[in-house]
Structure 1
């Protein structure tokens, strides 16, 4: 499937590592001007070396005021990938206010804020656009110690549909991708318990986790005109987990 993003401008959050980083690299390779957002400056420096010309913004998206200062005048954006997330594991009975607030601020509130900034710009310019929210299969299934993280992803499912409904009249599409475990630093936190990785793989009909490339390909599809009639949807990249 041939995708053409040349002439467009994309913003990717959580761009320093994992899915976000590879999304930036893929968009850059396809001729897109990319704004990479991360709270870790060293990651942005190395990304700039790999992808010359990529704009970088270093900001903690969990800080509303700092995000407004950093992105409030970001300029025209045609494509947005809300990928930034934090995973802080706690059993439900031990969930603290700090973990709850931090997780929701980064995983969900920043999606609202950054999407507002970008969508308002699209509307003012009178141009169509595409927004992809990076969710998780744990929006639909439960795992121990992920009460808060899973709640943010469940809420993201509703938010994606609401955004699609309200932004649709402006020709702005909004979708999500919902991957299973992928080999990133964040995902490894969920696999620190004995036998969990083995048991998880056995539950997947394909007997594998997803690769980062699999998730990136779904993101690119949803960003592109190849999905021109798709909005308010979520693509499961779960190796069949929810089918079993």
Structure 2
């Protein structure tokens, strides 16, 4: 069920913490991983560690995405590239930050899905796509207007993609993690006045690890999830169950 031998899988955001953990776990199960990121330099440590293929391209450019993916045979995709933006009240929100977050988290995932799906359909092997969303798409979080909007849009894209690609035996799902204490999140979620009240509302009482997000991503890519599509799966220690 977790054998990915001869299954090429693209992971965007591979130079980030969750993306790298996903690459490592996919390699453990035999996948031919293509680790994507904004530059060869950022991908180099992971490529050296795991032996996967690195693929650098600009998510903001449709031409760059089309060129990178047009002849790339794929069985699976993980849309893991993400931008946190700035946590700020709505009345102080910066429209440039909003546009930047939407460009990566939503538009970038849209472009990758669009062009990856074309090659997956042409190959006729079926496959699976997993979008890395957020608990911020499911519940309101103070100061997360830009980020929450981008991830809620991503969840909607997941459902539409599942509907359209299902006839081609391509499944599409989202995982919606709680906070993972990465460098991107630490500047806000690591502050005691933020961390302590938040964790007090989390039934499991702790932040997630990268590996705890990578595991359900790999599950949703696998044959063990062969009847699951169109799902947004909270991986949040029970936070959204409140």
TM-score (norm 2): 0.95
Work out which of the residue numbers 79, 84, 94 in structure 2 matches 1:82. Answer: 79
1:57-76 paired onto structure 2 within 5 Å: 57-73=55-71, 75-76=72-73
* Equivalences, count: 241
Do residues 107 (structure 1) and 112 (structure 2) align? no
Q: Which moved more, 1:181-190 or 1:103-112?
A: 181-190
Where do 1:157-236 residues align within 5 Å? 157-191=155-189, 193-236=191-234
Provide the rounded CA distance (Å) in 1 between the counterparts of 2:70 and 2:8: 16
| Separation in 1, partners of 2:66, 2:84 | 23
In angstroms, what is the RMSD of aligned CA positions? Answer: 1.4
The aligned counterpart of 2:129 is 131
In structure 2, the partner of 1:97 is: 95
**CA separation of 1:224 and 1:209: change in aligned 2, threshold 3 A:** same
- In the alignment, the residues of structure 2 paired with residue 198 and residue 25 of structure 1 have an alpha-carbon distance, to the nearest angstrom, of 31
Instruction: Report which stretch shifted further, 13-22 or 56-65.
Output: 56-65
**Residues in 1 aligned to 2:211 and 2:155: alpha-carbon distance in whole angstroms:** 22
Q: TM-score, normalised by structure 1?
A: 0.94
Q: CA deviation at 1:193?
A: 4.6
Per-residue displacement from partner, 1:34-71 (whole Å, max 9, x unpaired)?
1111114333110111011x111122312333323333
- Single out whichever of 61-70 and 210-219 deviates more from structure 2: 61-70
Runs of 5+ unmatched residues, structure 2: none
